[in-house]
């Protein structure tokens, strides 16, 4: 199943920079592993904000919940999830 996920990060202003840098590094490694597996299909930065738009390819809602809640930045995120399905007017049969 494909999901469109919008994530906005809101780190506390008083979080020590060293702690923020450590969480961000751990988050980057976690997300890159999922991208290499093909689970985190696409990842785009939203210009001018600490937000991203991502496409996940997972078995079901439970797998997506497990992945998202495992993000090191999860406690500091606002997240919006939308399930996706193929549009009947699409000229492609796949995601190319």
pLDDT, tens digit (0-9, with 9 covering 90-100), for 69-89? 999 999 999 999 999 998 889
Q: Which domains does the chain have, with CATH numbers?
A: 2-84 (3.30.70.1060)
E strand segments, 1-96: 2-9, 40-45, 51-57, 77-84
Mean pLDDT for the chain overall: 95
pLDDT digits 0-9 by tens, 31-53: 999 999 999 999 999 999 999 99
What is the value of pTM for the model shown? 0.90
pLDDT band at 94 (very low <50, low <70, confident <90, very high): confident
Burial class (CB within 10 angstroms; exposed 0-12, middle 13-18, buried 19+) of 34: buried
Cα separation of 19 and 32, whole Å? 20
Query: How much is the average pLDDT of 53-67?
Result: 97
């Amino acid at each position: 199943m494909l999901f469109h996920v919008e994530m906005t990060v809101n780190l506390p202003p008083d979080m020590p920079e060293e702690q923020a840098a450590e969480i961000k590094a751990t988050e980057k490694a976690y997300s890159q592993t999922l991208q290499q597996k093909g689970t985190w299909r696409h990842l785009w930065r939203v210009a001018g904000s600490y937000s991203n738009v991502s496409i996940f390819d997972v078995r079901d809602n439970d797998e997506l919940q497990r992945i998202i809640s495992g993000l090191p930045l999860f406690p500091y995120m606002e997240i919006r999830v939308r399930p996706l399905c193929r549009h009947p007017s699409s000229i492609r049969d796949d995601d190319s």
